[in-house]
Amino acid sequence: MRLLLARHGETEYNREWRYQGRTDLGLNRAGRRQAEGLCQRLSLEPIDVIYTSNFKRAAETADIITRGRGLRVVTSENLAELDFGKFEGLTYAEIVENYPDWQPGDYNFSAYGGESLEQLARRISAFEKKLRSDDPADADILIVAHAGSLRILLCLLLGIDIKNWRRFRLAPASLTVVEDFRGESVLTLLNDVSHLKTK
């Protein structure tokens, strides 16, 4: 099985460095251009099925990628981004100012009405198990989701403690590839943005 992991294109919250989580924003103009670049990058890649989160930014990115290809798209709520609770819509500086007791390394947002990292990991683990039971072992699968959910998926695939999830950088509309090799997951591409045009 080969997994192509694509983060959605940019939204206004991404541009403003705001915690987005479950806030359901669509792509901005730059995000749509990024998704077009990702579409071109993937145009020659064999893809059997696309899995996407149920949020607009991921669904729009997947929609742009599938234009003219007739690919099957499966929506999974388990791929949704981490719920940041009361932090949603705030910048890091605003969080520090409004919640001075919060520790930046603490990813248990359930204390603020959101979700813990462990809860996110359980969702992603359930998604991975269903993926492996539903799709053939030789399938090429594109997953369009969010930085948090894709980072946790990478940790689970590679056998890395989920506490290290922030060590993976996944830019908007980036492409990461994980392939099965003799029963183990091998990271063959990480955070590729070579398809995005820069000025």
Q: Which residues are catalytic?
A: 8, 81
Q: Specify whether the backbone of 149 is left (phi greater than 0), alpha (psi in -120 to 50) or beta.
A: alpha
| H or E element, residue 29 | helix 29-42
What contacts 46, CB < 8 A, 6 or more positions away? 140
Q: Specify whether the backbone of 71 is left (phi greater than 0), alpha (psi in -120 to 50) or beta.
A: beta
Residue 180: what are its φ and ψ, rounded to 5°?
-80, 130
Q: Tokens 């059997």 correspond to what residue?
A: 48
Q: Do the Cβ atoms of 34 and 173 come closer than 8 Å?
A: yes
